[in-house]
Amino acid sequence: MTANEVNRPAPGARARVILMLAAVLSVVVPYLFWNHAWFGRKLTDREIRAYLHDSDHPRKIQHALSQMAERMLQGDPVVSAWYPEVAALARSPLPELRTMAAWVMGQDNRSEMFHRTLAGLLGDPEVMVRRNAALALVRFGDDAGRAVMLQALQPWMIRAPAEGQIRIRLEPGQSVRGKAMLARIECLGNRETDVRSPASGRVEDIFVSDNSRIEAGARLLSLRSAPDEVSEVLRGLFLVGRTEDLAAVEQYARIPDLPDDVHRQAVLTAQAIRTRSERNPIR
């Protein structure tokens, strides 16, 4: 028997080692994922400050924002030291950071800095940034985002960004997530252009056939906002909606295939608008 054969683990020992490693990895890998991806992990003040400036890792910025929002709701005065960094994220080139920053700024309706910044985000090119800003402004008692909220209650049209042959396999009623691919256009020169959803929603109508040729600007499909987003908008209009908004609100009390809580919120919002109109008939 050679020296190597003497030192080589027995087959049973090797199996035990492999099982032990597998057990360790089954604990360590999920922990590492949780530690770096779950926004619920508590951050120290030093970590929040560092994360807010870590432009190379957007998820760390989102983690810090999530922790700040939680502490803002608890009335923690320490987080106000980082308000300038949060407001600065309204100029981030990343839509997901602008979207989350708009939500966080709505957690403190006493900050004039946040109020001004949110008003500026109503003109953001991204749908979800505008919506979050509009809803956050409601907490300031500001109805400047009312038009944005009303747009969220209407189907929005998706148009072709280029000419070519379209590949589309959606059906009316199908749910889609924000940034999901809705269609692909095969353009001249073997180029492909993807058409993506600007926000989560449900397909309302489809105006083209799969494998057909379309012109740039042609109507492709219409989307209606996802039920949870509709609920949030209805809650906002509960506070700032006007009489002329009733038709847009009340349609959601009648649209089938929506959760009951959306129907109930539509009824409550319409009642609140009518009550407010009776008290302030000029508005």
Q: Is 173 left (phi over 0), alpha (psi -120 to 50) or beta?
A: left
CA–CA separation, 81 and 113 (whole Å)? 12
CA–CA separation, 77 and 74 (whole Å)? 9
Residue 269 confidence (pLDDT) above 90: yes
pLDDT in tens, 31-58: 333 344 455 688 999 999 999 999 999 9
> Average pLDDT for residues 218-235, to the nearest whole number?
96
CA distances from 28 to 15, 23, 25, 105 (A): 20, 9, 5, 35
Q: With bands split at pLDDT 50, 70 and 90, how would you rate the model's confidence at 18?
A: low
| Antiparallel, parallel or unpaired: β 175-176 and 201-206 | antiparallel
Question: How deeply is 51 buried, as exposed, middle or buried, from its count of CB atoms within 10 A (0-12, 13-18, 19+)?
Answer: buried
Say whether domain 156-225 belongs to CATH 3.40.1710.10: no
Extract long-range pairs of 236-240: CB within 8 Å, 24+ residues apart.
236/134, 236/135, 236/138, 236/145, 236/149, 237/146, 237/149, 237/150, 237/269, 237/273, 238/265, 238/268, 238/269, 238/272, 238/273, 239/138, 239/272, 240/138, 240/143, 240/146
Q: With bands split at pLDDT 50, 70 and 90, how would you rate the model's confidence at 15?
A: low
pLDDT of residue 280: 78
| pTM of the entire predicted model | 0.81
CA–CA separation, 58 and 61 (whole Å)? 5
The DSSP string of 210-258 is TT-EE-TT-EEEEEEE-HHHHHHHHHHHHHH--GGGHHHHHGGGT-TTS
Q: With bands split at pLDDT 50, 70 and 90, how would you rate the model's confidence at 92?
A: very high
Residue 9 confidence (pLDDT) above 70: no
In the chain, which ranges are E strands?
A: 156-159, 164-167, 175-176, 181-187, 191-196, 201-206, 213-214, 219-225
- For the chain, the average pLDDT equals 89
pLDDT of residue 189: 82
* Residue ranges of domains in the chain: 156-225, 226-283
∠ CA 111-145-198, nearest 5°, is 110
pLDDT of residue 60: 95
